[in-house]
Structure 1
Amino acid sequence: MARALTEISGSTGRQVGIMVDRKGAVRHVIIGDHHSILIPDISSFRRGQGRLKGLRCIHTFLDGRDGLNTEDLSDLALLRLDAMVTVEVRENLPGRTFFVHLLPPNPENRQWEVQSFRHPSEIDLSFGVFVQDLETEIQRYQKGLQLIGAEERAILVHAGPENRYEADRALQELAELARSSNVQVLDRIYQRVNRYNPAHLLGRGKLRHILMKGLYLGATMVIFDQDLSAVQVNNIARMVDLKVIDRTQLILGIFARRAMSREGKIQVELA
C-alpha cells in the first residue's frame, strides 16, 4: 500500500492519503496538493465514550519536508484519529516514515507520541491490539472519575477579555445552569481573548485542548458562556467532535423542560 501511494504521489507531485478503518478497509482516498492534504468530513464515524474515531490516516510527503507538521498533529487530536502515518516519497518509493498516536492521560501531560522509521516495513505493530489497549487506558482513567448518571457530561468554556475573577463568576453561574439541566460539569476552561475567531470563536490550539479534555474526561458536550452563531456552533462541533451549545441554548433548554403545557413548549420554541 505504501509503495502504491508513493508512486502516485511522486508521479503527480501531490500528497496522497487514505483513511483506513480497523478492519483494514480504505474508507476515503485523498488527493492533496504539493504541500498538504485536506481530510474530508468524517463526522459519521462517531465513537463511544472514551473511544477514538476508528480511522487512521496514512499520507505521503514530498521534497524531504518535515515528516509531521502542525496540521497533522491537529488533525490527529481534533478528529480523534487512531493514528497518523506519514511516508516520505523518495524517487517514487517509500522512505522515512512517521507514526504518531494520542496518549492516555499522563503526568507529563503529553498529548501524543511520535515514532520514526527509515521505511514503513520497519513498523512492527499489531494495530488492532495497540488501539484497543490505548482505549482501555483512557477508559480506565475515566472509571477513576466520579461520573454520575447525568444525561450529559460537559466542559464549560468562557472566552473573553474579562479578568480571571469575572470569568470564574460567569463560569460558576453557567455551572449552576448546567446542573439545573441535569448536566454534570466535568471541567471549566477560561481563555482570555480580545478578539474572537469569526469561524471557531477560539484558535485551533485551544480547541484541540478542549477536545483532549473531552476525550479523557468522557465529556459528551461543550457549553460556551458566549453566544455562538449557527456557523460557529457547526464549525466547533465538527472540529471537537462533541455536542456544542451556548448559554442561551442551555437556558432555553431549561425553560423547555419546565414548560408543562403545550402552549408553553410552543412559546419556548418560538423564543
Structure 2
Amino acid sequence: MNKQVYGNLAGLRNTQLKRIENLYAQKSSPEYIISPDIAVELVEISHEIRRQMGLLVDRNGKIVCVIAGEPHRIVIPVTPDHMAIPGRLKGVRCVHTHLKDEPLTRDDLTDLALLRLDFITAVCLTSDGRPGPVYSGHVLPDETKEPYQVQPPATLSDLNNDCLTQILALEAELSRKNALHKPASGLENAFLINAVIQDADAAYASMDELKELCKTSQITVTGTAVQHRKRIDPKFVVGKGKLSALVIQAIQNHATLLIFDCELTPSQIRSITDFVEMKVIDRTQLILDIFAKQAKSREGKLQVELAQLEYLLPRLITKNTAMSRLTGGIGGRGPGETKLEINRRRVRDRITRLKKEIKKIRKQRHQQKARRRQRNIPVISIVGYTNAGKSTLLNTLTQSDIIAADRLFATLDPSSRRLRFPADTEVIVTDTVGFIQHLPKELMEAFHATLEELAEADIILHVIDISNPRYMQQKDSVEKILTQLDLDDIPVLYVFNKMDRVDMADFDTPWLLNEGICICARQKQSLTGLIEKLESMVTLPASHLRVDQ
C-alpha cells in the first residue's frame, strides 16, 4: 500500500509521521463525506502539529492521499489515477482541517472548481482542539452561475448526507451539459490565452490569427482571453491567480484544451501542466500539428518530423504530467537508463537520421537545379503569407489543380509547373510553403532545404491579400523572413490579390498599388497585366531584373 505523505513534513517527529501514515489504513463509509471517527483523528493530528491536514477519499471510501499542509493551507498533489475528464468529476473528495473557525477559503473553492473535485470539506478546530463547524461545497453544472455551491455550516453528525448519490447526480448533469457542447468526433474545444505587455492591437490581431489556425486544425474555439500585464509571468505566463480563473472559465465553456498564443518555455509548460488538469499546447505546437497533418510528400513529412523533435528535445527535462502530453509514444525502459534518458537518446538519434535524409534530398535538389540551369529556364517563385492565394494563382496561371482552400497552410509541399508566355518564352513557376508571423524557428530550420529553392529564383512573386485588414503587417512578416533567408537581392514583384473583395477607390494605402499588379487569382482575365509584366521581366537582361521596392 502507498503510504507516502505529501506536503510539509519538516519538523515532525517519527511518532507523528507514523500516526499520519496510519490514516491510509482507515476507510470511510461511501455515504459519508468522511466517517466521524476519521474526522476526529484528523482533527487531533492537526491540533498536535498545528498544521492543516488533508485527505483525498475516493468514491469507495478509500483514502488515496494524505496531505500535511501549512497552518493556512494544503497543496493537493497531482493524482494521475484520478484525472477529471470533460463531463466527469475527479472521482475523489478532499477533506481537510482549518485551525480556526473559518468557512471555505478562496483557495479551497478554486481547487474545487479547477480540479473538479467531487466535494471539498473543511472541518474546523475549536480552541481546545476538538471538531467544530464543518463547511462543504461542490461544483455546479450550470455555467451561467458561479462554478460551485457552498452548503450551510454543519457538524460531524451531519456528515452522513448520502454524498455519493449527490455526486453521481451532479456528474450525470455535467455529462448531459457537456454532451450538448461536444465537438465533432475526434476534435476538441479550445480556450485561447494571450498576454500582452504593450501593443494590444497586435495581440488581438495575433489572437484572430490563432483562431484561424484552430479552424485549420478543426478545433472549436469556445472562448478567448487577452490579459494586459507589466511583464510576462516566467512560470504561468498570465500569473497563477489569473490562470486559475481562466481555467475555471474554460471548463465552464466546455473546453478540453488550453492554447497559449506564444511559445511556452520548458519551465512554463512544466508549471502549467502540473497546475491544471487539462491538455495544454502553445502556438508553435499547433502550427507543427497543422504541418504534420498537411504534409503529403516524403520530404515534407521528414521536415515536419524533424521540426517536431527539435521542439520536443529541450522540453524533455523531467518526468511530470507534461511528458505524456509532449512525448507521445517515444521512449522505453532499459537496464542502467531511466525512461527520460532513453527518450532523449532516441530523439537525438532520430534527429540525426532525419538530417541525413534531408541532406540527401538537398543533394538531389542541387542536381535538379544544375540540369535546370543548363537548359537556361527562368524560375519564378511565388511567396506570401499563408492563405494569401498563392496556390490559387499558380493553378490559374498554369491550368493546374493543386489543392487550394480558404484556410491557413492548405498546401505545404512545394509545387512547380511550366508556364509558356505568348511570345513562346517558357518559365518554371514554383509555389512555396506559406509564411506566418512568429513562424517557429524549428520549422524554419527543418524547411531550409525547401526554402533555399527561393535562392534559385530569377523573380519572386510576393502575393499579398489586400482584403485582409492586416495586409501590411503580413507583408512585413514575409519580407522579414526573406531577409533572414538572404534573398534581398532577388527582384520582387508585388501581386495584390483579392481585389474583388475591396473597394479600390477607398483603398487605404494607394501608394502601395503603384509598386505591383492588382489581380483576382480566381479570374484568369485579371491576370493579363501580370503575365505581360512577368514576360517583360523575364526577357530583360539579368542586370535589369529589378523592381522598385
Map residues 163-178 of structure 1 onto 2, 5 A cutoff.
165-178=201-214
Give aligned pairs, total: 269
Once the two structures are superposed, residues 199-219 of structure 1 have per-residue CA deviations (whole angstroms, 9 ceiling, x without a partner) of 111223322233223333332
1:263/1:163 Cα in 2 relative to 1: closer, same or farther (>3 Å)? closer
- Identity among equivalent positions (%) equals 39
In the alignment, the residues of structure 2 paired with residue 70 and residue 176 of structure 1 have an alpha-carbon distance, to the nearest angstrom, of 36
Using the size of structure 2 for normalisation, the TM-score is 0.46
**Letter matched to residue 213 of structure 1:** Q
Structure 1: segments with no counterpart, 5+ residues: none
Say which SS state the counterpart of residue 73 (structure 2) adopts: coil
* Contact 1:50–1:216 under 8 Å retained in 2: no
Counterpart residue type for residue 8 of structure 1: I
- Map 1:138-149 to 2 at 5 A: 138-145=174-181, 147-149=183-185
Cα distance change on mapping 1:114 and 1:59 into 2, 3 Å = same
In 2 relative to 1, CA 83–146 (structure 1 residues): closer, same or farther, beyond 3 Å? closer
State how far apart, in whole Å, the 2-side matches of 1:118 and 1:151 are.
Answer: 43
Find 2:163's aligned residue among 121, 127, 130.
127
Residue 26 of structure 1 is matched in structure 2 by 63
| Aligned CA distance change for structure 1 residues 251 and 104 (closer, same or farther; 3 Å) | same
The one of the two structures with greater contact order (alpha-carbon pairs below 8 A, sep at least 6) is 1
Residue number in structure 1 paired with 2:75: 38
AA of the residue aligned to 1:69: T
Q: Corresponding residue for 1:215?
A: 251
**Stretch deviating more after TM superposition (86-95 or 20-29):** 86-95
Amino acid at match of 1:45: H
Q: Distance in 2 between matches of 1:145 and 1:220?
A: 11
Selected match of 2:295 from 236, 255, 259: 259
Using the TM superposition, name which of 46-55 and 145-154 deviates more.
Answer: 145-154
- Report the counterpart of residue 137 of structure 2 in structure 1: 100
Q: Deviations over 1:20-39 (max 9, x none)?
A: 01111100011123332222
Name the counterpart of 2:269: 233
* 2:104/2:136 contact within 8 Å kept: no
Three-state SS of the structure 1 residue aligned to 2:151 is: strand
8 Å CA contact 2:87, 2:176 repeated in 1: no
Which structure: greater helix fraction? 2
Identify the residue that residue 124 of structure 2 maps to in structure 1: 88
How much does 1:164 deviate?
5.8
Correspondence 1:202 to 2:255:
no
- CA change 1:129–1:163 in 2 (3 A) is farther
Q: 2:211, 2:221 within 8 Å by CA — same for their partners in 1?
A: yes
Q: Could you tell me which amino acid in structure 2 is paired with residue 156 of structure 1?
A: L
CA deviation map 1:153-194 (0-9, x unaligned): 211112213566544322221011112122222222222222
Quick one: which of 55, 70, 78 aligns to 2:114?
78
Partner of residue 13, structure 1? 50
**Cα contact 1:150–1:183 (8 A) shared by 2:** no
CA 1:265–1:120 in structure 2 vs 1: closer, same or farther (change >3 Å)?
Answer: farther
* Counterparts of 1:25 and 1:262, CA distance in 2: 53
Please say which structure displays the higher CA radius of gyration.
Answer: 2
| 1:207-251 superposed Cα distances (whole Å, 9 cap, x missing partner) | 223322333333221111122112212222222211111111111
Contact 1:21 1:56 in 2 (8 A): yes
Q: Which residue number in structure 2 is paired with residue 60 of structure 1?
A: 97
RMSD of equivalent CA atoms:
2.2
The amino acid across from 1:175 in the alignment is K
Residue 189 (1) aligns with residue 225 (2): yes
Distance in 1, Cα, partners of 2:85 & 2:53: 29
Partner of 2:9: none
2: CA distance, partners of 1:147 / 1:213: 18
Separation in 2, partners of 1:138, 1:214: 14
Higher strand share: 1
Q: Distance in 2 between matches of 1:226 and 1:174?
A: 10
Secondary structure, counterpart of 2:66 in structure 1: strand
Partner of 1:268: 304
Shift of 1:262: 4.3
